[in-house]
Structure 1
């Protein structure tokens, strides 16, 4: 049975889309990845789609949607919910309730990058580098045999060892 993961942010237009699409690509049938937002933009950022396409990651069916879709009767239940908003930028992260393991893997929003097209593309490329690195580490974990505490610890370690803001600043 696939391990169900939900990535949450506010707008569900870039970061959570990158995470869910990349996990679906890298994790294959081992994972069932979803994304949603507390205040969805209603459209996926075209730069996020361009970066996914550049890496050969499928985007068919990807859309910006509300987390309300996952609170209705018959909605899937999740094993893991990961928030990806950037608390360093004073973004408020959505709170989603349930009996799943929770993690916070904050990232600065590449959609907020000022500058020319090259600067924006670089921000999305670097963000996807962080997304891919974190997910590559997730893929190495024996999720099916880990207890909640061990998984929670490992997810925190991933966030600490692959700090987004420092990686993004180094690349700038």
Structure 2
């Protein structure tokens, strides 16, 4: 049995919805094996209330959720990441900061639920649908026997997860 806790950073442009939901899901679904973080290249300063609604249902503490810059995770005193995933296409195409420790990276693109227009119920359904999609990929990720795989195999697996249709 391995005792390592893997730090996982989810990046998006605004850090208000997808990356926030992914942070909560990896932490809760990982049952102590993973610690999730999220950040944005251009954080919009607020977490979307519908993302908070989805996260609250997991039991993850929502009081500490905030929209923050990815620069925080490149600082010398920042936690060292083992994995970094971009969850929006804009962040995937941006030049990222240097990440200490050379974490494994992959792109796991999801539609932006915050961009959905319509009634509150239509917006809520979009958030719930994307939340379920993130949960499906997260379920595969947290089930990987990371302590038994070599780095190239892990890199292959995380890219495959991101390419899996949701």
* TM-score, scaled to structure 1: 0.86
Cα RMSD for the two superposed structures:
1.4
Contact 2:11 2:40 in 1 (8 A): yes
3-state DSSP class of the match of 1:60? coil
Contact 1:11 1:38 in 2 (8 A): yes
Q: CA deviation at 1:27?
A: 1.0
Q: Deviation digits for residues 114-136 of structure 1, max 9, x if unmatched?
A: 11111100100000001111110
1:74 aligns with 2:77: yes
1:8 aligns with 2:14: no
Q: CA deviation at 1:92?
A: 4.5
- Give the 3 Å change call, closer, same or farther, for CA 133–96 of structure 1 in structure 2: farther
Contact 2:82 2:104 in 1 (8 A): yes
3-state DSSP class of the match of 2:162? helix
Q: Deviation digits for residues 97-143 of structure 1, max 9, x if unmatched?
A: 33110110011110000111111001000000011111100111011
User: 1:62 aligned to 59, 62, 65, which one?
Assistant: 65
Contact 2:30 2:142 in 1 (8 A): yes
Contact 2:83 2:103 in 1 (8 A): yes
Q: CA deviation at 1:152?
A: 1.2
User: 2:157 aligned to 154, 159, 164, which one?
Assistant: 154
- Give the 3 Å change call, closer, same or farther, for CA 92–55 of structure 1 in structure 2: closer
User: 2:130 aligned to 127, 132, 150, which one?
Assistant: 127
Contact 1:25 1:58 in 2 (8 A): no
Name the residue aligned to 2:31: 28
Give the unaligned 5+ runs of structure 1. Answer: 165-172
Give the unaligned 5+ runs of structure 2. Answer: none
Segment of structure 1 superposing worse, 95-104 or 62-71: 95-104
Q: Deviation digits for residues 7-35 of structure 1, max 9, x if unmatched?
A: 01111000000000111111122111110
Segment of structure 1 superposing worse, 47-56 or 1-10: 47-56
* TM-score, scaled to structure 2: 0.89
Contact 2:74 2:97 in 1 (8 A): no
